[in-house]
């Protein structure tokens, strides 16, 4: 005769128990973020120089405040103390430099950002090109070549990239803002 088998139920980890829950924001927050993104995007398209100047100064204030908070956190909470100290000191230095040199700082920040984007595009393009040769297909290879070309163009024409970056950001902020407004309105209904 067969003995009945006792079934022991095991708990199943859900996404929320693992810390992978969805980010839920009120509909009006998403709508407000969309409206602000559209306004900032329009300002970047209409008056790129003064808007970029203003945004870089706000960035300097945030870096300075974030650096101070990170430095205080390093002394109050012992975990990751070295990382907090380094990021705090760098944030304070970057914030002070941006606020002390308001005329030069937008060019320096945008130039460093263009260099970062150029290097990232070349590395990303090389990986896509490699994947294209390893069986990823012609599309992946073509995207890799185009990404490498874009990266090299940015790295060889940093000034042009720096001058056009505010307009590119403005365009993407408007498109993203429209998407956020639509998403916020859909969340409301």
Kindly list the domain boundaries of the chain, sorted by start residue. 27-188
pTM for the predicted model, two decimal places: 0.68
Return the residue matching tokens 């329009």.
42
**What's the whole-number average pLDDT of the chain?**
87
Provide mean pLDDT across the span 131-156. Answer: 88
Q: State yes or no: pLDDT of 1 exceeds 80.
A: no
pLDDT in tens, 58-70: 999 999 999 999 9
Provide mean pLDDT across the span 92-100. Answer: 94
């Amino acid at each position: 005769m067969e003995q009945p088998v006792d079934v022991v139920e095991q708990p199943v980890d859900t996404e929320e128990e693992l810390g992978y829950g969805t980010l839920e924001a009120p509909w009006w927050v998403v709508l407000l973020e969309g409206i602000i993104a559209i306004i900032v995007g329009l300002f970047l398209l209409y008056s790129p120089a003064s808007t970029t100047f203003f945004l870089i100064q706000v960035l300097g204030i945030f870096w300075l405040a974030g650096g101070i908070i990170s430095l205080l956190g390093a002394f109050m909470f012992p975990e990751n103390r070295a990382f907090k100290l380094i990021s705090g000191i760098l944030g304070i230095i970057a914030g002070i430099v941006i606020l002390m040199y308001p005329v030069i700082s937008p060019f320096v920040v945008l130039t460093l950002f263009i260099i970062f984007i150029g290097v990232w595009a070349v590395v990303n393009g090389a990986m896509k090109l490699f994947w294209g040769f390893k069986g990823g297909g012609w599309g992946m290879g073509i995207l890799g070549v185009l990404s490498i070309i874009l990266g090299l163009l940015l790295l060889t024409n940093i000034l042009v990239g720096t001058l056009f970056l505010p307009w590119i950001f403005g365009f993407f902020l408007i498109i993203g803002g429209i998407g956020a407004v639509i998403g916020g309105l859909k969340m409301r209904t």
